[in-house]
């Protein structure tokens, strides 16, 4: 109350007074307990400082970046949870550009193996992945491993935008309900693609130490382990927007092979590093479009189980 009232009346403040008022902010010292908070609320002062350190930028610039990130997340949720007119959805879907479209079509034509498509929660990853999967044959099984189940409005919009190529509710698998045996069964059945995200927030799945932003960080090891164990390739892709268009960037397909003298875990760490290195330059160009930007400090310390709630 004091914080918001004073800041409204005195938007330009001496630095020392501004810091004092920041400490009065209701959540200035309270860590996020849920993902909902992380998407739409400001992080603690300590986390803001850590994010500023990671970017080598002043805190006020990072605060502006975090505000853009919250607006980005809000627009994403609005688009996902509200039924839109079919014409608007179709126009939005047409704004997604796949520069490597022909390369992808040639790949899926020549290589019919089951495949793990790996990505990050960047840009409009929902419509981005739907755009990519819409190029696959309708006879191919397609799945997405999600943190939370999408609502009916989301699937209604996807159907309006992609018609028969749209993913339906049966394609969505929940992280909390799906184990590696189920995923392995889908892959080994053949002619299947599973979208797995490599950046689930700390504490929600098994991670491994890699290099990110010139620091040691922890990212999901699951996609790499699953690919090696089932001998299926991984195809990294990421979505980001510029102006009125969204772009899908594809990486090189990664074969499920261990190098000489590598153990399974060593190979999984190498592949996970490749995936994170693919993500990093796009992230640095578009940091406000990464869904979990406010949770960045958590990726730099070894997570404990259940560090944050999925809700």
Per-domain residue ranges for the chain?
Answer: 86-300
- Give the SS3 label for residue 235: strand
Beta-bridge mates of residue 220: 207
CA dihedral 134, 146, 243, 132 (to 10 degrees): -20
Residue pLDDT tens, the chain, 311 long: 333 433 443 344 454 544 444 444 444 545 666 777 788 888 889 999 999 999 999 999 999 999 999 999 999 999 989 999 999 999 999 999 999 999 999 999 999 999 999 999 999 999 999 999 999 988 999 999 998 899 999 999 999 999 888 889 999 999 989 999 999 999 999 999 999 999 998 888 899 999 999 999 999 999 999 999 999 999 999 999 998 899 999 999 999 999 999 999 999 999 999 999 999 999 999 999 999 999 999 999 987 755 555 54
- Give the pLDDT of residue 39: 87
**191 contacts 145 by C-beta, under 8 angstroms:** no
Q: Which helix H or strand E contains 144, and what residues bound it?
A: strand 141-146
- Give the pLDDT of residue 305: 54
- Tens digits of residue pLDDT in 116-139: 999 999 999 999 999 999 999 889
Residue 266 and residue 248: Cα distance in Å, rounded?
29
Residue 211 and residue 199: Cα distance in Å, rounded?
14
In the structure encoding, which two tokens stand for residue 152, read together?
Answer: 């009916």
**289 contacts 123 by C-beta, under 8 angstroms:** yes
- Name the DSSP class of 231: T
Task: Please report where in the chains the tokens 């999984």 appear, as a residue.
Answer: 268
Residue 174 and residue 159: Cα distance in Å, rounded?
20
- Give the SS3 label for residue 139: coil
**124 contacts 241 by C-beta, under 8 angstroms:** yes
- Give the pLDDT of residue 18: 47
Count CA atoms within 13 Å of residue 253 on its CB side: 16
- Name the DSSP class of 13: -
Enumerate residues 6+ apart whose C-beta is below 8 A from 309. 33, 34, 35
Backbone angles phi, psi at 137, to 5 degrees: -65, 145
């Amino acid at each position: 109350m004091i914080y918001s009232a004073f800041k409204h009346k005195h938007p330009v403040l001496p630095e020392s007074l501004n810091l004092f008022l920041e400490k009065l902010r209701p959540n200035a010292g309270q860590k996020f307990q849920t993902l909902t908070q992380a998407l739409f609320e400001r992080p603690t002062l300590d986390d803001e400082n850590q994010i500023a350190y990671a970017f080598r930028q002043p805190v006020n610039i990072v605060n502006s970046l975090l505000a853009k990130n919250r607006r980005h997340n809000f627009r994403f949720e609005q688009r996902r949870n509200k039924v839109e007119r079919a014409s608007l959805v179709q126009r939005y879907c047409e704004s997604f550009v796949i520069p490597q479209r022909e390369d992808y079509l040639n790949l899926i034509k020549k290589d019919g193996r089951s495949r793990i498509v790996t990505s990050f929660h960047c840009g409009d990853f929902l419509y981005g992945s739907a755009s990519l999967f819409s190029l696959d044959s309708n006879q191919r099984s397609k799945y997405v491993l999600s943190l939370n189940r999408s609502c009916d409005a989301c699937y209604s919009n996807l159907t309006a935008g992609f018609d028969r190529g749209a993913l339906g509710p049966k394609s969505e698998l929940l992280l909390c309900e799906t184990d590696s045996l189920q995923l392995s069964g889908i892959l080994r059945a053949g002619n299947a693609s599973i979208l797995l995200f490599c950046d689930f927030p700390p504490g929600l799945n098994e991670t491994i130490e890699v290099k990110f932003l010139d620091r040691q960080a922890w990212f999901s090891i699951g996609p790499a382990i699953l690919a090696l164990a089932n001998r299926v390739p991984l195809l990294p892709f990421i979505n980001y927007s510029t102006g009125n268009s969204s772009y899908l960037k594809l990486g090189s397909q990664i074969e499920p092979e261990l190098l000489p003298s590598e153990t399974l875990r060593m190979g999984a760490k190498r592949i996970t590093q490749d995936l994170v290195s693919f993500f990093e330059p796009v992230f640095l160009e578009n940091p406000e479009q990464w869904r979990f930007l406010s949770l960045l400090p958590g990726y730099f310390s070894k997570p404990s189980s259940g560090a944050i709630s999925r809700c």
